[in-house]
Amino acid sequence: MIPVRWTLQAVDDLRSIRLFIERDSPRYARLVVERLFEAVTRIEKFPRSGRVVPELDRLDIRELIVGEYRIVYQLEESVAHVVTVFRSSRLLAWAPQDDSE
């Protein structure tokens, strides 16, 4: 098992998703966020179970598709970082930092 860490960006994304849905249904907002959060627990046991993000085509950057959302995470040797969560109808707005700098 490897630990999963949420970046500030991913936490903000989850908060924004909840607040947007909450305007219509607080109950549904809670359920969606719980479902997204729960899906990330799979990464701990099966870190390579998410598909490679097609836009980036890098083995270390993967995603889980959960309903209408994409959960993008980056694998390192001993940890996975959830970097962003967004609706699958939108384009990926996150770019990995180049380690060579």
- Pair 74, 64: CB distance under 8 Å: no
Average pLDDT over residues 20-25: 96
The CATH number covering residue 60 comes to: 3.30.2310.20
The answer to whether the pTM exceeds 0.85 is: yes
Q: What domain range is 36 assigned to? A: 4-87
Read off the pLDDT band of 100 (50, 70, 90): very low
Residue 94 belongs to a domain? no
Residue 97 belongs to a domain? no
Average pLDDT over residues 80-85: 96
Read off the pLDDT band of 101 (50, 70, 90): very low
**Backbone region of residue 55 per phi and psi (left: phi > 0; alpha: psi in -120 to 50; beta: other values):** alpha
Domains in the chain: how many in total? 1
Residue 92 belongs to a domain? no
Residue 29 belongs to a domain? yes
Residue 101 belongs to a domain? no
Residue 96 belongs to a domain? no
pLDDT surpasses 90 at 92: no
What is the pLDDT at residue 98? 59
Residue 53 belongs to a domain? yes
